């Protein structure tokens, strides 16, 4: 029996699903006594170090936790659940950590995108049972802006490189912790969890220890989901956002089945976009929540969900905040939520007033779930002009002239699934959302969507250069070479496709086979 320490805020559904998948029973802590009575305790936690410590104190869990950790029984901390073992964190210097391990948690100080998001390797420093059965060159899923700096080298189980080596797992007697998420790390991650659960594993150092480790470029499968005319929830796909063919919504498959297939084929992440979310309120659209719950039972890579994340008042006058909508998605198995239309309205307000309110969906969700949980989905289209002085927006000189031979364009943000253009350009939107606390940009492109012509490199460079957070290139992938092209010509951390995967024109494994040796990927 595994005891899970959860207090409501984070996404623990995937940890529960992974442990249950391994055939183990699980019970969730409700009182301090449950912690003290546990046989094996798992503490998964994403988000803010300070809010975690405050809740642990309010619930009077700190003393029981210290008691448990002193008892010599097995403990596995995941992400911030590992960081809590240290003395404190720069994220909330006023809050003391548990101080089981000497050291402090610091923010990444690197010339690279922060948060560190994606699949990276580990370099195992000491014998352990946690990696039993692994070769040592597997990659695991990380998502964090802070990392532990251990004062005692004996507590360092693994290091990982991101600009410099940082502590990616710790071990002290039967206390273990990973900065990465085993529950989101595919087969390798499930092996780690199984090793923790079984505890009859041989103690060893895996044969391969890559040094330095390398962050992989991510290949993401995207599923645009909506109800078709018969009322069934289907994966659909647009051509430049038009999802109808001969008057009917295209039906490319069932969401849960397709997501499962992409996991098996090696997708590094799966994204669901509820594309009619701007008009249908997702908490009334329970099938989407159900899709997420079902998917997360069998898909052990990160899941992002977008569509309809905004404040809403239903027909009975009951008001919901975007944070409540997001919370429901996190509880159902999402790791990140993506905000589309609402991000444009938030940025418009911010640019008008020049003031942060703390009330926007971006700020609220980021403050509770962490920046890494907030993705901004941008739906831009090109607006051509003859010369930069014809528009107040920042233009680029383009190698793809407009219909009348125009050599300049700006990238206009749209809302409501591309139906309405707004007076904000994509780079400004991305930059402002980063300031407000977004952790990643999902950069679509209406001009390229469904065309198979390749990614819009000019758009991607314009946005990537405006931000320091990771950017996902999206729209237009038609063959394996387009992925190599986007990674060679831009600095994006990941690339997303939909149509070619749904229609089985190019399997994910073929994309990875093509990229092998050209860019770092997870195989």
DSSP structure string for 440-470? EEEE--TTTTTS-S---HHHHHHHHTT-SS-
Tokens 């994910």, located at residue: 508
Residue 306 interacts with ligand 1PR (CB under 6 A)? Answer: yes
Tokens 């309809």, located at residue: 308
Per CB under 6 A, the list member of 339, 430, 462, 506 interacting with ligand 1PR is 339
The DSSP letter of residue 242 is B
Per CB under 6 A, the list member of 77, 189, 238, 470 interacting with ligand 1PR is 238
Whole-number Å distance between alpha carbons of 81 and 86 = 10
Smallest separation, CB 105 to ligand 1PR (Å): 33
The answer to whether 344 touches 415, Cβ cutoff 8 Å, is: yes
Smallest separation, CB 448 to ligand 1PR (Å): 6
Smallest separation, CB 512 to ligand 1PR (Å): 16
Per CB under 6 A, the list member of 10, 81, 189, 277 interacting with ligand 1PR is 277
What contacts 515, CB < 8 A, 6 or more positions away?
217, 219, 480, 483, 484, 487, 521
Residue 118 interacts with ligand 1PR (CB under 6 A)? Answer: no
DSSP structure string for 479-495? SHHHHHHHHHHS--SEE
Per CB under 6 A, the list member of 161, 379, 425, 440 interacting with ligand 1PR is 379
Per CB under 6 A, the list member of 41, 188, 220, 222 interacting with ligand 1PR is 222
In the bound state with ligand 1PR, the residue whose beta carbon lies nearer, of 344 and 427, is 344
Whole-number Å distance between alpha carbons of 314 and 234 = 25
Residue 341 interacts with ligand 1PR (CB under 6 A)? Answer: yes
Per CB under 6 A, the list member of 44, 308, 333, 380 interacting with ligand 1PR is 308
Whole-number Å distance between alpha carbons of 489 and 510 = 20
3-state secondary structure of 361: helix
In the bound state with ligand 1PR, the residue whose beta carbon lies nearer, of 80 and 498, is 498
Per CB under 6 A, the list member of 373, 429, 498, 506 interacting with ligand 1PR is 498
The answer to whether 481 touches 255, Cβ cutoff 8 Å, is: no
Options 174-182, 246-254, 474-482, 512-520: segment touching ligand 1PR (CB under 6 A): 474-482
What contacts 173, CB < 8 A, 6 or more positions away?
72
The kind and range of the H/E element at 223 are strand 218-227
By rule CB under 6 A, what string of x and - marks binding of each residue 429-448 to ligand 1PR? ---------------x----
What contacts 290, CB < 8 A, 6 or more positions away?
none
In the bound state with ligand 1PR, the residue whose beta carbon lies nearer, of 52 and 222, is 222
Residue 224 interacts with ligand 1PR (CB under 6 A)? Answer: yes
3-state secondary structure of 499: helix
The answer to whether 408 touches 397, Cβ cutoff 8 Å, is: yes
Options 35-43, 74-82, 175-183, 305-313: segment touching ligand 1PR (CB under 6 A): 305-313
Structure tokens at 229: 């005319």
Q: Which active-site residues does the annotation give?
A: 79, 181, 183, 224, 379
Residue 340 interacts with ligand 1PR (CB under 6 A)? Answer: yes
Residue 417 interacts with ligand 1PR (CB under 6 A)? Answer: yes
In the bound state with ligand 1PR, the residue whose beta carbon lies nearer, of 367 and 451, is 451
* CA dihedral (451, 456, 460, 462) positive or negative: negative
Residue 241 interacts with ligand 1PR (CB under 6 A)? Answer: yes
Options 154-162, 177-185, 387-395, 473-481: segment touching ligand 1PR (CB under 6 A): 473-481
Q: Which residues bind ligand 1PR (CB under 6 A)?
A: 222, 224, 237-238, 241, 243, 273, 275, 277-278, 306-309, 338-342, 377, 379, 417-418, 444, 449-450, 474-477, 497-499
């Amino acid at each position: 029996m595994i005891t899970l320490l959860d207090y409501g805020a984070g996404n623990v559904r995937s940890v529960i699903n992974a442990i249950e998948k391994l055939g183990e029973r699980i019970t969730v802590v409700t009182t301090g006594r449950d912690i003290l009575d546990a046989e094996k305790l798992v503490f998964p936690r994403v988000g803010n170090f300070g809010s975690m410590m405050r809740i642990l104190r309010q619930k009077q869990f700190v003393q029981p936790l210290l008691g448990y950790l002193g008892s010599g029984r097995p403990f596995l901390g995941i992400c911030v659940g590992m960081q809590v073992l240290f003395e404190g964190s720069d994220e909330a210097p006023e809050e003391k950590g548990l101080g089981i391990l000497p050291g402090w948690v610091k923010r990444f100080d690197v010339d690279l995108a922060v948060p560190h998001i994606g699949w990276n390797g580990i370099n195992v420093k000491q014998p352990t049972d946690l990696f039993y059965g692994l070769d040592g060159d597997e990659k695991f899923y990380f998502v964090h802006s802070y990392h532990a700096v251990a004062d005692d080298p004996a507590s360092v189980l693994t290091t990982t490189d991101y600009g410099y080596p940082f502590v990616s797992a710790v071990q002290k007697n039967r206390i273990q912790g990973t900065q990465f998420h085993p529950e989101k790390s595919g087969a390798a991650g499930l092996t780690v969890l199984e090793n923790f659960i079984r505890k009859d594993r041989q103690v060893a150092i895996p044969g391969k220890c890559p040094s330095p480790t390398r962050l992989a470029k991510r290949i993401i499968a995207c599923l645009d989901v909506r109800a078709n005319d018969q009322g069934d929830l289907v994966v659909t796909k647009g051509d430049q956002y038009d999802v109808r063919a001969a008057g009917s919504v295209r039906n490319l498959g069932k969401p849960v089945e397709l997501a499962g297939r992409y996991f098996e084929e090696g997708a590094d992440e799966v994204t669901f976009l509820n594309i009619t979310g701007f008009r249908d309120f997702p908490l009334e659209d329970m099938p989407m929540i159900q899709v997420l719950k079902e998917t997360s039972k069998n898909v052990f890579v990160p899941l992002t969900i977008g569509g309809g994340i905004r404040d809403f008042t239903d027909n009975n006058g009951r008001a919901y905040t975007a944070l409540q909508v997001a919370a429901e998605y996190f509880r159902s198995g999402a790791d990140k939520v993506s905000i589309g239309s609402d991000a444009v309205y938030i940025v418009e307000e911010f640019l008008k007033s020049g003031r942060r309110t703390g009330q926007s969906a971006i700020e609220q969700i980021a403050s509770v779930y962490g920046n890494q949980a907030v993705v901004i989905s941008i739906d831009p289209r090109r607006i051509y002009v003859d010369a930069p002085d014809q528009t107040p927006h920042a233009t680029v000189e383009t190698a793809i002239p407009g219909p009348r031979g125009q050599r300049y364009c700006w990238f206009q943000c749209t809302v409501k699934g591309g139906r309405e253009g707004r007076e904000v350009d994509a780079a400004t939107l991305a930059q402002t959302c980063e300031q407000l606390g977004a952790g990643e940009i999902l950069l679509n492109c209406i001009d390229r969507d469904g065309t198979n012509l390749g990614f819009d490199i000019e758009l991607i460079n314009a946005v990537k250069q405006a931000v320091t957070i990771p950017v996902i290139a999206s729209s237009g992938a038609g063959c394996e070479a387009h992925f190599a092209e986007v990674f060679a010509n831009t600095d994006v951390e990941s690339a997303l496709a939909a149509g070619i995967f749904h229609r089985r024109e190019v399997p994910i494994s073929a994309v990875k086979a093509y990229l092998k040796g050209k860019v770092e990927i997870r195989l």
